Chains A and B, each alone.
Chain A
Amino acid sequence: EAGVAQSPRYKIIEKRQSVAFWCNPISGHATLYWYQQILGQGPKLLIQFQNNGVVDDSQLPKDRFSAERLKGVDSTLKIQPAKLEDSAVYLCASSFMAQGAGEAFFGQGTRLTVV
């Protein structure tokens, strides 16, 4: 079974530039999460999708971050414009179960450096 795929693995951009991350969840998984993990901290939930609908985006900085999940499968997370404090690893995860009811599978993450 293929795992959660994320790309790119690494990205370096200058502040005020834009960047987009892509996630392909495990086939059949209705729930998709995006997390931001700053070095030395735990993953912080940015947004949760159930199919193509948003369940929770309370921690998403909506003035600069946006996310979509077209057709309830792949998802993209965009930052525009980036700030230095956005430097982090962005993790995507998917789950067959809704909410926190079951195991989530994580991708390898995208490491973003904003200079």
Chain B
Amino acid sequence: SQQGEEDPQALSIQEGENATMNCSYKTSINNLQWYRQNSGRGLVHLILIRSNEREKHSGRLRVTLDTSKKSSSLLITASRAADTASYFCAPGSGNTPLVFGKGTRLSVIA
């Protein structure tokens, strides 16, 4: 199974700033998903980007995918205290299960 590697491991920003986190993976994919996990809760799906897409938006989220570099980035604009959570990427190749890396722990300070 393919696992993404998120970077940085931890990120601390002020409310209103933008937060960027990255994901790298090793083999070719069909899609890549991003999930958020608030402390003590289950994961929540944020966005799915397909391998033929380069950028996708959802509200304050912007995801990019560069298949040539085998990397993706998640940008959260105008961050809020409620965005404090761990963020995970999950590369998918259609015949592999959904697996996760260690994630990026984001702290947004009010």
Contact = CB atoms under 8 A, between A and B. Distances in A.
Interface of A: 4, 33, 35, 41-43, 45, 48, 55-56, 58, 89, 91, 93, 95, 99-109, 111
Given A99-B96, A100-B33, A100-B97, A43 B43 contact: yes
Given A45-B100, A58-B1, A105-B45, 19 more contacts: A33-B98, A42-B101, A45-B1, A45-B98, A45-B99, A48-B97, A55-B97, A99-B94, A99-B95, A99-B97, A100-B31, A100-B90, A100-B97, A100-B98, A101-B30, A101-B92, A101-B94, A103-B45, A103-B48
A99 B44 CA distance: 17
Interface residues of B, number: 27
B48 A33 contact: no
Interface string B39-52: 01111110010000
Interface of B: 1, 30-31, 33, 40-45, 48, 86, 88, 90-103
A106 B41 CA distance: 9
Contacts of B30: 101
Output the residue of A35, A41, A43, A58 with the most chain B CB within 10 A.
A43
Tell me if B's interface is mostly helix, strand, loop or mixed: loop
Given A100-B31, A100-B93, A101-B31, A106 B100 contact: no
A101 B48 CA distance: 9
A28 to B, nearest CB: 17
Contacts of A100: 31, 33, 90-94, 96-99
A63 B79 CA distance: 45
Contacts of B93: 100
